């Protein structure tokens, strides 16, 4: 709004000092307006970039920022205890220390979202930049996959984690359903055959009584 008001103010100045009727004023007025327009656009662009970088910036990426391991990660979707102390390799499991430092200094993100490790984790870099590693959304990689729903605005953000049914639970349901069917189908078949035999036995008797 301030940039727009300044641009309108300079337009009025150009119209006042460079009226169109006088010779030579048209070119000078156009030059002055072009300068005002370029200044206006550059100021607006710098303001928008500064606002986006300082207020609205969230950094989503596949590879996590550098961390030694998942030793400090907790929660239902964290790595198994036997894998949490395995050291990460730079440029393979996580970004390098140099790249991570540059990203944080360049963008100064309010939140970093990452993946790749197939396990959930929350890390605070430099006591200022939070990072959340999203676990895998696939039964091939973990028994309890999950996903995150996020709501982002200029005033903050809200995250909600949703878990899928565990693969072991689904397999147990399939097995129990199959076992129940294997037990019930022969039972139903036997009951049906028994009822059919009774019907065949009783039908001649009832016909004889009717006669």
Q: Are 78 and 120 in contact (CB under 8 A)?
A: yes
Q: Tens digit of pLDDT for each residue in 101-133?
A: 999 999 889 899 999 999 999 999 999 999 999
Higher pLDDT: 78 or 1? It is 78
Mean of pLDDT values over 136-156: 84
The pTM of the whole model exceeds 0.85? no
CA–CA dist 73, 109 (Å, integer): 21
CA 145 – CA 76 distance, rounded (Å): 10
- pLDDT (mean) for 63-85: 92
> Can you give the chain as a three-state secondary structure string?
CHHHHHHHHHHHHHHHHCCCCCCCHHHHHHHHHHHHHHHHHHHHHHHHHHHHHHCCCEEECCCCCCCCCCCCCCCCCCCCCCCCCCCCCECCCECCHHHHHHHHHHHCCCEEEECCCCCCEEEEECCCEEEEECCCCCCCCCCCCEEEEEEEECCEEEEEEEECCCHHHHHHHHHHHHHHHHHHHHHHHHHHHHHHHHHHHHHHHHHHHHC
pLDDT level of residue 17 (50, 70, 90 thresholds) = very low
CA 145 to CA 119: how far, in whole Å?
A: 9
- Categorize the per-residue pLDDT at 10 as very low, low, confident or very high, splitting at 50, 70 and 90: very low
Domain residue limits, the chain = 2-54, 58-163, 166-211
Looking at mean pLDDT, say which of 26-35, 62-71, 172-181 comes out highest.
62-71
> What CATH topology corresponds to 58-163?
Transcription Regulator spoIIAA (3.30.750)
Higher confidence at residue 37 or residue 87?
A: 87
CA angle 99, 103, 107 (to 5 degrees): 170
Query: How high does pLDDT run on average in the chain?
Result: 77
- The CA distance from 3 to 1, in Å, is 5
């Amino acid at each position: 709004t301030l940039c727009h008001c300044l641009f309108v103010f300079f337009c009025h100045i150009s119209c006042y000092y460079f009226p169109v009727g006088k010779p030579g004023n048209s070119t000078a007025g156009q030059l002055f307006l072009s300068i005002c327009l370029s200044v206006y656009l550059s100021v607006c662009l710098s303001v928008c970039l500064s606002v986006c970088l300082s207020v609205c910036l969230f950094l989503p990426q596949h590879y996590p920022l550098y961390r030694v391991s998942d030793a400090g990660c907790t929660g239902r979707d964290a790595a198994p205890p036997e894998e949490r102390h395995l050291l990460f390799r730079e440029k393979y499991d996580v970004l390098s220390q140099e790249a991570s430092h540059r990203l944080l200094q360049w963008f100064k993100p309010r939140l970093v979202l990452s993946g790749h490790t197939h396990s959930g984790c929350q890390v605070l870099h430099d006591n200022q930049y939070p990072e959340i590693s999203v676990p895998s959304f696939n039964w091939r990689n973990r028994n309890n996959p999950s996903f995150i729903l996020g709501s982002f605005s200029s005033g903050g953000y809200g995250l909600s984690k949703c878990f899928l049914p565990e693969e072991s639970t689904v397999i147990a349901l399939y097995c129990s359903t199959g076992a129940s069917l294997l037990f019930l189908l022969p039972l139903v078949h036997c009951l049906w055959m028994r009822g059919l035999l009774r019907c065949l036995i009783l039908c001649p008797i009832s016909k004889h009584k009717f006669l």
